[in-house]
Structure 1
């Protein structure tokens, strides 16, 4: 049909919907809770669950209460924006293919909406403890030392947020008009599409989000001070080290205040004693050592990764360059917050949360268990199969581990499974979300490496299914060799074929949803972002079919989406400053020259990269590794020729980028299971019974970590496992 639809969303209507819809949803949600509504399901957030720990809760004061209320209100306000996107993207695909009337305004409006959401959500995520920190030494410190470390590292948080507030205001003001603001500007700046939406409200959110984050950070600082005073009074021994840390923090804070004064009163001539431009003469080798050494030190001190990289990035902008270079901050963040492909992240997380609240995941596991339970180690195999299907539904890396841990672990322990088989199968199955489309990691990799996300999805499908099969085979072998470790389902619990078919019929809707989402990506009918929007719309339909589409569940899904996507995006914002500055100083060329100058062949260079990624995976989270390593590794790997090992076929020159991208994804699976700080280890710890120790969890990860290593070797030796499907579909 060629019915031309000329509707273009008016600007006033767009801003009115964003302003008023959350208020309407708030009213409906609050009324629903007042009438006794409850949230069904668990939590699919991308935040490692922690075992409950008895700890001091600082009382705060009026300022902390006000800050919490403001952050909570605005966080909830923008969280409900996620409900708009499924309908908008479904409309776009419908009018494009049914009426041959494609739009630009749908994509642009949703991209800008999510960009504003990321910025405002940062303060709410901080309030909820949603920003991921690397708990290497911090977690093992005494309470007084932890409190002192919090005070010390908060300086880097304030360096980042104060820099973002100042430069964000200038960035915003230049997009409005010279009539009201000083300095040169692009007066009333608009987008370059025919929709021509004004950019200044979007750019204002960069300043406003930083201001909210600053206010919440001050509230957190007040609580940290109260916590420090509390533990100082409780702990009479060993207080000297804590006092030393606080004194160091005070010195750093005084330096920060002095440099703020320097920036405020000077333009080209620094005040005496200022460190502005003090590292300008340091070569790239020394700068590499200083930057990454300081990164490791601050990371292990427990500051969330987003503020470690952001704060250090701002500090080095100032120390190596000058105050004018600080204006790079918003120019690095704005392209990320308005990146079209990154919009798929909150959409897939929202899809995961809606399906989980609808009870689909629990039904999925029950169905697979009834089908596979008669096999030896059938329950562990069912867990891996269910995790594979779950990965194909949601693409959220932590969702499968936490959810299957809540559902499958009690069932296996009840049936006398060896805890290490039970825990290992859940963790390994959960990591499949990195490879099985629609992987969120693949989306971010595609953006950073400028690689087609659709090709990455097709390239990772066979390796993902191969690893799932290897996990299942290992569990079956263990159950066959020693049935007591993984006994089959008791005869009395088994069901006949008719009951199995009935259970399968209940899963028809989510299975169709998976086929729909992946099908429109692989066939090129829609982009991954549009597919995510359609999938989320389908998840809402599935939830309605299961009578779980309630205001309470929608609220919970929106809040889960907000915290998880804010965590990911703020890490991207912080790391883009740190890594962007390092590359600007010639860091990429330096690392490339260092590796290529070692005299290693192409496969030797690849081996060095894999070892570095595995090592980083023991300490950093997947987003941090990606943003630190990929911008440096990809340009180095692209011109190399991989002619094959052991007489096996090599990789075509045009396939090297895709091949390396999927190898990278396989490697990142290992990072989730790598002791001592793999994230899956802590995801599962949060849902394990108290008698399961971290030592048992570490041991349970090792066999599956070995299988992942074998899988990594296979995709390196047999590149066709990666390149066959993309070449078949895309030629």
Structure 2
């Protein structure tokens, strides 16, 4: 009997659901809060808690800023609730595929386009909430008046990027609309190339509309920055502020010149106005261009502008200075493929899964269970923290989530039991970084997209190195506790529980453990793609939350908003960096770097070592997404062309496995970047949840032993490639 289901989602129904469902959810969420609903759990968004210094003055804004905040808030909340659709749609796809032999295309395409639109419209909300990551090397140490002046000066690059996105996005949109209804000139009602044939113009319109929302929110932010600058100047009239004044004058000059260049674009087609900088760097060689591009990148980064707008703004500047105004149309052509990349849809899904589980109280229960099982060992609490972090990484794949969450839960428990602060803090930071390696790692997803590497193979290849590092962390803690019991004492006898109680506690964790096995199992066996697995995992997380009686409208709202800010942060960095790096590669930068390294006469392993050093150095300053998008497109083609025959007589790497092997090496290296003083991100994650008496010097010292273990793990993975390749070759042949 044939049970095939041939349902194809009508276009009108798709747009109706996206349009009306958020309004329905808003009604129930608002009703829940009016009736006293509260959000359970904490916040595991990617923003490092406490990384920003609390401001002593909050600019009041004005009517425009309040309107802009309201528009951004409504738009963000509206699209955040779209995340509720995906778990059910992906569960439907897997069901009809295997139960009724009726696979679909419209499921994947509809969710990919939905998340692509969400990324664009969420940028303004993330800006309002301070969700865009900034490299605040000098920014946080500046005086308040200098900080306000830096915000005003660097905003010029933000507006350059936003205005370019706005104008080119409008052109990109208008070309996809039918001539019968609008003024499209290149295409007639452009549709996707699948049998679903959905219209692309609403999706492309979001590029323009997202830029418009971002522009409004940016103007509101500029108003508040000006108010902050005036306040700080008036608060300290006798304090010299020459540097701040210089920054303001620099902002005026650069801003005025930007307006002049905008006039040049509006008024001319082929000939530039006198004194215009259009194509002024057109004759600069790739060597000089490399110095100018990356030198200016570092200068603007340390000034405190969010990474997404640094790379995006500078990318626009160099498109114009090296090329001309027509080259600005490269912007939407770089962003749209990232918007509509199917693999990247796993990012918001895994973040949503993490947030739902956290609101359900699973993470606290997980730590409690592991602690009761392991607490009797020397350094048992530190070992329990590492094991819980490993399991947490397998549940969520969200970088930074384990550091913040375990810092809130495990650090007070360890300090209360007289653990040495450096052992306590180090175990939390090292365990938290396992989210980079242990599947389902979000970093592995982005690497797979950029390097054209199978995400499933990366997951399998990183599993053994991840578990190996977790064991090394735990063994180190045990050794320190054994050699000096006062540094990491075991659980007091009166707090220990018998085996019956341990089994009862383990039973409470059965549902989340089954969820982890389900998600990873369907990825490793090839039953479903990582995106589908993320969707099913999120569906399972909703069921687990319901079982724990935490599936409330208030918790769903909090999970959706956390997901929105975290995924917007990641995706906007991808958008900005893809413009900057894409232009550099287009100018021959990739070939230049490859020739530079090849000309040094280094062997394959020496080149690999040089890359590792560069990645660690970048990790001291840059965000993990920025490092990936800046380095991987240049490094991977170079590595693929090399032969790694082994060191010290050990087996080498099969040429077919080089890309996979390097990918896992890269992931292990990124663990090191998170712990590398002085600006490793894990150091600031943990600082935000530490008691006031814990100094940054203590945090730095606590990271060093675990950083050495990570370096040892990196060396082992390089020397013994089978640690990476054995499991994928066993599974896939």
Query: Which category describes the TM-score, using the shorter chain as reference length?
Result: over 0.9
Partner residue, 2:24: 24
Partner residue, 1:452: 454
Partner residue, 1:593: 595
- Measured against aligned partners, the alpha-carbon deviations of 1:158-215 in whole angstroms (never above 9, x if no partner) come to 0000000000000000000334554622111000000000000000000000100000
CA separation in 2, counterparts of 1:181 and 1:351? 41
Partner residue, 1:36: 36
Given the superposition, is the C-alpha separation of residues 179 and 271 from structure 1 closer, same or farther in structure 2, using an over 3 Å criterion?
A: farther
Once structures 1 and 2 are overlaid, which stretch shifts more, 251-260 or 176-185? 176-185
CA separation in 1, counterparts of 2:501 and 2:721? 42
8 Å contact from structure 2 (residues 176, 184) kept in 1: no
8 Å contact from structure 2 (residues 135, 301) kept in 1: yes
1:276 deviation in Å? 0.4
Aligned-partner SS, 2:40: coil
- Measured against aligned partners, the alpha-carbon deviations of 1:21-63 in whole angstroms (never above 9, x if no partner) come to 0000000000000111110001110111116624210000000
Partner residue, 2:226: 225
- Measured against aligned partners, the alpha-carbon deviations of 1:258-314 in whole angstroms (never above 9, x if no partner) come to 000000010000100100010000000000000000000000000000000000000
Partner residue, 1:691: 693
8 Å contact from structure 2 (residues 312, 576) kept in 1: yes
- Measured against aligned partners, the alpha-carbon deviations of 1:575-610 in whole angstroms (never above 9, x if no partner) come to 000000000000000000001110000001101100
- Measured against aligned partners, the alpha-carbon deviations of 1:507-562 in whole angstroms (never above 9, x if no partner) come to 00000000000000000000000000000000000000000000000000000000
Partner residue, 2:62: 61
Partner residue, 1:529: 531
Partner residue, 2:636: 634
Partner residue, 2:614: 612
Aligned-partner SS, 2:514: helix
In structure 1, stretches of 5+ residues that fail to align are none
Pick the aligned partner of 1:580 from 575, 579, 582: 582
Partner residue, 2:623: 621
Partner residue, 2:144: 143
Partner residue, 2:513: 511
8 Å contact from structure 1 (residues 448, 630) kept in 2: yes
Equivalent runs, 1:356-371 vs 2, <5 Å:
356-371=358-373
CA separation in 2, counterparts of 1:601 and 1:711? 22
Matched length: 731
Pick the aligned partner of 1:708 from 700, 707, 710: 710
Partner residue, 1:307: 309
CA separation in 1, counterparts of 2:36 and 2:314? 47
8 Å contact from structure 1 (residues 174, 181) kept in 2: no
1:325 deviation in Å? 0.3
CA separation in 2, counterparts of 1:142 and 1:705? 32
Give the root-mean-square deviation of aligned CA atoms.
0.8
Partner residue, 2:297: 295
CA separation in 1, counterparts of 2:57 and 2:133? 21
Given the superposition, is the C-alpha separation of residues 249 and 54 from structure 1 closer, same or farther in structure 2, using an over 3 Å criterion?
A: closer
TM-score, normalised by the number of residues in structure 1 = 0.99
8 Å contact from structure 1 (residues 86, 537) kept in 2: yes
8 Å contact from structure 1 (residues 436, 460) kept in 2: yes
Equivalent runs, 1:364-379 vs 2, <5 Å:
364-379=366-381
- Measured against aligned partners, the alpha-carbon deviations of 1:87-140 in whole angstroms (never above 9, x if no partner) come to 000000000011000000000000000000000000000000000000111111
Pick the aligned partner of 1:246 from 241, 245, 248: 248
Pick the aligned partner of 2:682 from 680, 683, 689: 680
Partner residue, 2:207: 206
- Measured against aligned partners, the alpha-carbon deviations of 1:379-408 in whole angstroms (never above 9, x if no partner) come to 000000000000000000111001001110
Aligned-partner SS, 1:397: coil
Equivalent runs, 1:308-323 vs 2, <5 Å:
308-323=310-325
TM-score, normalised by the number of residues in structure 2 = 0.99
CA separation in 2, counterparts of 1:530 and 1:411? 37
Residue 478 (str. 1) matches residue 480 (str. 2) = yes
CA separation in 1, counterparts of 2:84 and 2:401? 20
Partner residue, 1:571: 573
Partner residue, 2:434: 432
Partner residue, 1:47: 47
In structure 2, stretches of 5+ residues that fail to align are none
Partner residue, 2:98: 97
CA separation in 1, counterparts of 2:386 and 2:569? 27
Residue 152 (str. 1) matches residue 153 (str. 2) = yes
CA separation in 2, counterparts of 1:214 and 1:326? 18
8 Å contact from structure 1 (residues 178, 185) kept in 2: no
Aligned-partner SS, 2:690: coil
